[in-house]
Structure 1
Amino acid sequence: MKLKLLLFLFLSVLAGQLAAQTNSINEEKFIPIGGIEQWVTISGADKTKPVILFLHGGPGSTMSQYDDAIYGTWKKEFVLVYWDQRGAGRTFGRNAPEPVTEEYWIEHPLTVERMVADGIELTEYLVKHLGKQKITLVGTSWGSVLGASMALKRPDLFSAYIGHSQVVNGEEGFLHAFNTVSKLAQAAKDEESLTKLASLGPPPYGDARKSGQLMRIIKKYERQNATPAPATWWKLASAYDNEKDAQHRYDGDDYSFLYFAGHKALGITSMEAAVNFMRDGLHYKIPVYFIQGEEDILTAKELTKAYFDKVKAPKKEFVLVPKAAHGHNQAVVEAQYKAVKKSLNLR
């Protein structure tokens, strides 16, 4: 009798394990999006769970290469989708020539409209492929430009939009950041930064190199008062830890930033300069959550809160995260998790 009971328990556990394996999903592949092949990963312990599409920042700062240290525990409750956007990571490597030339940059422009269309096309694929009615959208920094635009344009595809380090007005935000670090550098008697800021002058620049130099000063001052993310978060997964993928990420980051910041010498128009959600992004038809680092200088809390106050949505929430700057840390990820759960009415 005891032997039969043990056998029954063993078979029950085995059946449960096999069912879990059957329900799990782990796909990594190129998908035709917007006329080119783009790299997408889909993973989760149970493919019947809600789907989250992450939109990375940068614009070239892909997430697919990291070893699940940031959001890996979420796979028990959600299906996670990472997308190397047009011009970034493996998507860039799949479509760019070797070596990459200035002619390629100029002849293959990046625009907000094109990338928003890519994101919507990807979402339509995910809804059909995974058998969902809607998915949850999480955008960070540059990804918040795409995320807000996608949510505003096609609310029927999304259950909620969660914007982290939300970009509101590209040019105003960059000028605000310049003024902030100028005051901080003066207070700190930081002569090196003050000299560089004086040589740059206030934005906009029309020169991606100047934008990059200002970004470095902004990051320097953000780091002073913010809790960093654990270094283990940025460990590369073994499949991406190679020279070819590293080169594609590096080249894609350069290409994407040129179009983000603009570079008049090459006739490249800034994508950032066209962003103004205060003007054309105030009415959402889905719940909206903004996760805002209190020490964020690049997308400052004053500008994000002013935008949030004017936003009309079925439900909205503004979460100010202490000791967080523009990027991710543990507190930011926890705030994102809570927002996702709230948006889906999960406990």
Structure 2
Amino acid sequence: MKHTLLLILFLCLITGGQAAQTKPIHEASFVSIGGIEQWVTISGEDRDKPVILFLHGGPGSTMSQYDDAIYGYWKKDFVLVYWDQRGAGRTFGRNAPETITEDYWIENPLTVERMTADGIELSEYLIKHLGKRKITLVGTSWGSVLGASMALKRPELFAAYIAHSQIVDGQEGFRHAFNKVSKLAQTANDEESLNKLAALGPPPYGDARKSGQLMRIIKKYERENSIPAPASWWKVASEYDNEKDTNDRYNGDDYSFLYFAGHKGMGIKSMEEAVNFSKDGLRYKIPVYFIQGEEDILTAPDLTKAYFDKLKAPKKEFVLVPGAAHGHNQAVIDAQYKAVKKALNLR
């Protein structure tokens, strides 16, 4: 009995000592990146855990305002970093003038090259600031353009790249999506969508408004054929639930999409049309995992899988998620979590 009590006491001391050694981290601040101040949040239950940098989609669809709602349970295993990219969210609000004009949009271009350089500079900052050798990238949709570009350009900074809804060839992907929803609309006798598609014609458009109209039809059919995320995920945290942050997210989303889609009338080139990893992104020097929604129309599984099959990497894995479309749902988050743990050899 005495030995049992001593053993219990010893285990309690060991467990308590381990708990005392964990060092929670919660930072939220503007960091100088690419010559401007950009909003970065860092959080986790133990700062010694591996670091994950999330690259949001959109391009203006920031994640920092949701925080724990989607990836909160990851904090026990990882340090999570959210970044409002150039032209989005609080980064947009910090750097844009009080009155937004077309001149501001034109005089402050967004490019894949500039934003990739931002992502690399942020990664270097995180490695130094948090005392890490490498970090892990998780990129979604537009964020997959940055994630792939960063991983290909500076592989020594990263332990792995986890792609979700990977954009492969911007022009081909958009044409494929147009053809797919045209067939779906015909099958459904959806006259409203068919009329809109006929008026639009197949892409490319050179007009952000037309791209936006096609995106709305794509999202309509993705919603009809997929399992949605819980509505609670999109509840904005109280710190971000104010007029200024709301306006900055809204205006940044418009600005970012304008450069993503392109608008010839304003001399704005499309970032999406310049993307073609099938030509210049076939050799990775780090493990690569693709998380792909089976019902994804915007980045179709057949196009993504064809690229995945061609690319070379030390280790690669393709995960097709039933019931998922282009965006997030619980199955996607769980697949990402498993991929990160596998990539980093964590149990």
Contact 1:38/1:90 (8 A) holds in 2: yes
Distance in structure 2 (CA, Å) of the matches to 1:178 and 1:64: 31
Distance in structure 2 (CA, Å) of the matches to 1:183 and 1:237: 40
Contact 1:208/1:262 (8 A) holds in 2: yes
Q: Please name the residue that 2:344 is paired with.
A: 344
Distance in structure 2 (CA, Å) of the matches to 1:121 and 1:72: 26
**Residues 265, 74 of structure 1: CA spacing in aligned structure 2 closer, same or farther, 3 A cutoff?**
same
Displacement of 1:41: 0.3
Describe the superposition over 1:99-124 as per-residue Cα deviations: whole angstroms up to 9, x where unpaired.
11111100000000000000000000
Q: Please name the residue that 1:68 is paired with.
A: 68
Q: Please name the residue that 2:204 is paired with.
A: 204
- Establish whether residue 143 from structure 1 lines up as the match of residue 143 from structure 2: yes
TM norm structure 2: 0.96
Q: Please name the residue that 2:169 is paired with.
A: 169
Contact 1:162/1:288 (8 A) holds in 2: yes
Q: Please name the residue that 1:266 is paired with.
A: 266
Distance in structure 1 (CA, Å) of the matches to 2:313 and 2:67: 35
Q: Please name the residue that 1:285 is paired with.
A: 285
Distance in structure 2 (CA, Å) of the matches to 1:205 and 1:59: 18
Displacement of 1:69: 1.3
Contact 1:297/1:326 (8 A) holds in 2: yes
The aligned amino acid for 1:203 is P
Kindly report which structure 2 residues correspond to 1:109-258, keeping only aligned pairs within 5 A, or say none. Answer: 109-258=109-258
Distance in structure 1 (CA, Å) of the matches to 2:11 and 2:152: 51
Secondary structure (helix, strand or coil) at the match of 1:52 reads strand
Q: Please name the residue that 1:39 is paired with.
A: 39
Contact 1:60/1:88 (8 A) holds in 2: yes
Q: Please name the residue that 1:55 is paired with.
A: 55
The aligned amino acid for 2:272 is E
Gaps of at least 5 residues in structure 1 are none
Contact 1:67/1:233 (8 A) holds in 2: no
The aligned amino acid for 2:52 is I
Q: Please name the residue that 2:26 is paired with.
A: 26
Distance in structure 2 (CA, Å) of the matches to 1:254 and 1:333: 27
Displacement of 1:10: 9.5
The aligned amino acid for 1:134 is K
**Residues 305, 8 of structure 1: CA spacing in aligned structure 2 closer, same or farther, 3 A cutoff?**
closer
Displacement of 1:62: 0.2
Displacement of 1:214: 0.2
Distance in structure 2 (CA, Å) of the matches to 1:9 and 1:289: 39
Distance in structure 1 (CA, Å) of the matches to 2:106 and 2:62: 22
Describe the superposition over 1:181-233 as per-residue Cα deviations: whole angstroms up to 9, x where unpaired.
00000010000000000000000000000000000000000111100000011
The sequence identity of aligned pairs, in percent, is 80
Secondary structure (helix, strand or coil) at the match of 1:183 reads helix
Distance in structure 1 (CA, Å) of the matches to 2:191 and 2:203: 20
Q: Please name the residue that 1:302 is paired with.
A: 302
Runs of 4+ in 1 over 3 A off after TM superposition: 5-20
The aligned amino acid for 1:33 is I
Distance in structure 1 (CA, Å) of the matches to 2:184 and 2:11: 65
Corresponding residue pairs, total:
343
Displacement of 1:11: 8.7
Displacement of 1:312: 0.5
**Residues 203, 28 of structure 1: CA spacing in aligned structure 2 closer, same or farther, 3 A cutoff?**
same
Q: Please name the residue that 1:88 is paired with.
A: 88
Distance in structure 2 (CA, Å) of the matches to 1:151 and 1:80: 18
Q: Please name the residue that 1:78 is paired with.
A: 78
Gaps of at least 5 residues in structure 2 are none
The aligned amino acid for 2:277 is F
Contact 1:67/1:234 (8 A) holds in 2: no
Secondary structure (helix, strand or coil) at the match of 1:291 reads strand
The aligned amino acid for 2:120 is I
The aligned amino acid for 1:219 is K
TM norm structure 1: 0.96
RMSD over aligned CA atoms reads 1.8
Displacement of 1:12: 8.1
Q: Please name the residue that 1:329 is paired with.
A: 329
Describe the superposition over 1:74-111 as per-residue Cα deviations: whole angstroms up to 9, x where unpaired.
00000000000000000000000011111110000000
Secondary structure (helix, strand or coil) at the match of 1:257 reads helix
Displacement of 1:13: 7.9
Contact 1:54/1:81 (8 A) holds in 2: yes
Displacement of 1:19: 3.7
Secondary structure (helix, strand or coil) at the match of 1:289 reads strand
Secondary structure (helix, strand or coil) at the match of 1:159 reads strand
Displacement of 1:17: 5.5
